[in-house]
Chains A and B, each alone.
Chain A
Amino acid sequence: MQLGEKIRLLRKRAGISQKDFAEQLGITRRALVYYENGQRFPREAGLIDKIAGFFNVSSDFLTDDSESIAMTKEEIFLEEAKAEDKLRGKSEAKKFIETTKCLFAGGELSEEDKDALFEVLTEIYFDSKKKAKKYGVRKNKGSKNTPTD
């Protein structure tokens, strides 16, 4: 896992925006975007240490590509949804995850059950999307469905 990916993942987990994070580090947001996308590597002295310090990890861990962060099912799902639908994937996937969280809020499910259920729901998410693509959208009630492509 590359440095940029690790920075992005840790930043997201900390729930902080690119703008705010860049401010904290004393760099521009543009620079941070380059780092996260892996287009550039932080050359500034001490910047990597600063980032590592912010997240409480070692700078070696950040710079060593063989070191990875284990992603949660949710994070993996978000990545997949984003890759699958660049336009709306992210917001739809977020909504979906919110719903699953509500589903789990009943409190009767063990961790294992939640895992199993999340797996199924993820599958259904992509499947229903495929089907919706295939059959097009209903413009208004009563009209015939027309394929979009």
Chain B
Amino acid sequence: MEFILREAERLIQKHKTRNPFEIADCLNINVLYRPLGKLKGIYIYTRRSRYICINNDLDSPARRLVCAHEIGHDRFHRHLAKMNPQAQELISYDMSSKPEREANVFAAEILLPDDEVIRLINDAEMNFFRAARELYVPPELMDFKFQILKSRGYRLEAPLNATGDFLKK
């Protein structure tokens, strides 16, 4: 968990942005929008070129989330996404939940700044779900952010317990 947060922090500092599309651009990842049926997005690594393909049916908050999530795969699971028969059973949607969890933690850290989240949940008017809507992320991603904040010593009560595969819904 710690190394994921460090990497997210490093990227935000280095490229001075939290916009996943800009980060992908800085990292020389090719981002494509194509029809993908039920798949939301896929990360592919072949011939030393990296590709993030995002389903073009998605609205822009969803695209942002998928892009951040796939950058997480690029950072931590590149070796799993090689296009060769030996790495067969390890491709993104088919992975065990650990890489998915890691990618989601990464996405939560990139898309949700600490102070914003704290500000929103200290607001008496706000509940968890409204805060998530306010920040254009699904509640599950908010839950990941809560887990991160807890690990930093904040005392929070989260109504959900998100797992690695919430993007599948």
Contacts and interface: CB of A to CB of B under 8 A. Distances in A.
Nearest to B95: A106
Nearest to A124: B51
A113 B41 CA distance: 12
A11 to B, nearest CB: 25
Contacts of A95: 84-85
B83 A96 contact: yes
A26 B164 CA distance: 60
Contacts of A132: 47-49
Contact of A117 (B37, B49, B84): B37
B38 A113 contact: yes
Interface stretch (A47-55, A63-71, A97-105): A97-105
B91 interface: yes
Interface residues of B, number: 24
A134 B141 CA distance: 39
Contact of B84 (A99, A112, A128, A131): A99
Interface stretch (B28-36, B97-105, B111-119): B28-36
A134 to B, nearest CB: 10
Contacts of A102: 85, 88-89, 91
Given A116-B36, A120-B53, A99 B48 contact: no
B37 A127 contact: no
A119 B83 contact: no
Nearest to A102: B88
The binding surface of chain A is classed by DSSP as helix
Contacts of B88: 99, 102-103, 105
B94 interface: yes
A108 B94 contact: yes
B44 interface: yes
B47 A120 contact: no
B48 A108 contact: no
Interface in A106-149: 106, 108-110, 112-113, 115-117, 119-121, 123-125, 127-129, 131-132, 138
B33 to A, nearest CB: 10
Contacts of A112: 37
Interface of B: 30, 32, 34-39, 42, 44, 46-49, 51, 53, 83-85, 88-89, 91, 93-94
20 contacts: A99-B83, A99-B88, A102-B89, A105-B89, A109-B39, A110-B37, A110-B38, A113-B38, A117-B37, A117-B39, A119-B34, A120-B34, A123-B32, A124-B32, A124-B46, A124-B51, A124-B53, A128-B47, A128-B51, A132-B49
